Amino acid sequence: MECNVPILDLQREYDYMKEAIDARLATVLDHQKWILGPEVAEFEQSFSKFIGVEHTVGTSSGTEALLLALRACSIVDHGKQLFDSSDEVLTTAFSFTATADTILRAGATPVILDIEEESFNLDIEKVAAYLKRSAKVRAIIPVHLYGRSADLTALKQLCESKNIIIIEDAAQACGSEWHGKLCGSIGNMGAFSFFPSKNLGAFGDAGAVTCNEQKYAEILRMLIKHGGKDKYNVEHIGYNARLDTLQAAVLLAKLNFLHEFNTKRRNIAAFYTRALEGIADLACPAHLSPGHIFHQYTVRVKNGHRDKLKEHLQNAGIFSMVYYPVPLDHMLVFKGKAIVPWECEEAKKASEEVLSLPIEPLLTEEELELVVRSVRQYFE
């Protein structure tokens, strides 16, 4: 199949940033400090400044960032290495598996709640209702899905005075804003992924935890390297979960392009929304605020048209994706291990309707017009 429009084109992005990235990589090749080399600390400082937090701890992936944040909560706030199954962590039914399976890995029980129809994010009313019924909730993991921030003001209000911490899953929200502050700086901790396809992507797996409180940063720094300040005299059950020096070098180069690329994504989103207006069975994202960084541009395709539209686009060489086809409460891994207090009907509906269109920031006008033409052609 000829590919006319990719959903993402990392080769194109590399060509665009090649000089900056190659220079950073060459420096690492020269100094050969592969583990926690100078680029790691430099990236952590730059990222803290960018997000607006006191601390960034680089990690080996976004998944490990979530796990480490949960472990830091269990150690710092509850005085135990791992949670136990009576400890509950609330999260959304509509996310990537890692959001909830890290809760299991940290020893706690995930409580899976439904989403709001419009934002695809955690339904705040469901959170409020569950908090009235359970006193065992230790943390909440809101996901800023597709790059749009969850309602952190409401969540913070609900958690206030309850000793419940907020761990933002900001894997899709690198640069997203909530009322003038960047995602990852508002909850107690933020977990970022630099998986290659994320808005800030490394050349392999990488991630980070952000926070303002020293007490978390200190434990996180120990946990990424086996659990001790001294590698040969260890206090906590730790991991080998450091951010790689080479990845930090790539991230330092690419961080300088992030704002420009996020702006390009927003412009593509605005173009699509304008050009796809008025199709009865297609709903564009309602929200185009400057705080949304469009990790994905995701439409809802109604009345059973989603898979047929996807195939129609595929035949025209246009790639689109379904994030996510199976809500977490339907996944085998969580069966009998998660609490699902109410049926997650909106998440189920979303899993049947969503389709993410090509959002590569370097797509040309011709390519974008081809996408729009093909979508319109399907519905005509």
Ligand X SMILES: *Cc1c(COP(=O)(O)O)cnc(C)c1O
Residue selected from 104, 137, 140, 143 as contacting ligand X according to rule CB under 6 A: 143
Stretch that binds ligand X, among 40-48, 134-142, 164-172, 213-221 (CB under 6 A): 164-172
For the chain, report the end-to-end CA distance as a whole number of angstroms.
Answer: 24
Which CB, 146 or 216, lies closer to ligand X? 146
CB of 143 to ligand X, least distance (A): 5
What is the Cα–Cα distance from 18 to 250, expressed in whole angstroms? 10
Distance CA 115, CA 121 (A): 5
CB of 193 to ligand X, least distance (A): 3
**91 touches ligand X by CB under 6 A:** no
Contact flag: residue 224 with ligand X (CB under 6 A):
no
Contact string (CB under 6 A) for ligand X, positions 184-223, x = contact: ---------x-x---------x-x----------------
Contact call for residue 176 and ligand X (CB under 6 A)? no
For 195, which DSSP code? -
- 101 interacts with ligand X by CB under 6 A: no
Residue reference for tokens 């605020």: 289
> What is the C-alpha to C-alpha distance for residues 205 and 196, in angstroms, rounded to an integer?
7
Q: Which stretch binds ligand X (CB under 6 A): 36-44, 91-99, 118-126, 305-313?
A: 91-99
Position 262 contacts ligand X (CB under 6 A): no
Residue 25 is given by DSSP the state H
| 94 binds ligand X, rule: CB under 6 A | no
One residue of 47, 83, 96, 297 binding ligand X per CB under 6 A = 96
Minimum Å gap between C-beta 169 and ligand X is 5
What amino acid is encoded at 128 in this protein? A
250 φ, ψ (degrees, to nearest 5): -60, -45
Cα separation values, 343 from 90, 91, 131, 348, Å: 15, 14, 17, 9
Smallest distance, Å, CB 370 to ligand X? 27
Q: Prior bond to 130 cis, omega within 30?
A: no
The residue from 91, 92, 119, 172 that contacts ligand X (CB under 6 A) is: 172
Rounded Cα distance between 112 and 149, Å, is 19
In angstroms, the Cα distances linking 63 to 32, 194, 249, 290 are 27, 10, 20, 27
Contact 115, 142 (CB under 8 A): no
Applying CB under 6 A, the site for ligand X has a residue count of: 15
Q: Determine the Cα–Cα distance for residues 196 and 338; give it in Å rounded to an integer.
A: 30
Residue nearest to ligand X (CB): 62
CB 121, CB 144: distance < 8 Å: yes
**CB closer to ligand X, 37 vs 207:** 207
The minimum distance between CB 248 and ligand X, in angstroms, equals 15
Least separation in angstroms between residue 161's CB and ligand X is: 28
Least distance to ligand X, CB of residue 313, Å: 22
- Is residue 171 within the footprint of ligand X (CB under 6 A)? yes
DSSP β-ladder status, 165-169 and 189-193: parallel
> Measured from the CB atom, is 104 or 282 closer to ligand X?
104
Q: Tell which one of 69, 70, 98, 293 touches ligand X (CB under 6 A).
A: 98
Compute the chain's Rg from CA coordinates.
21
According to DSSP, the β-strands at 109-113 and 177-178 are unpaired
- Chain residues 51-80 in contact with ligand X, contact rule CB under 6 A: 61-63
Binding site for ligand X (CB under 6 A): 61-63, 95-96, 98-99, 143, 169, 171-172, 193, 195, 205, 207
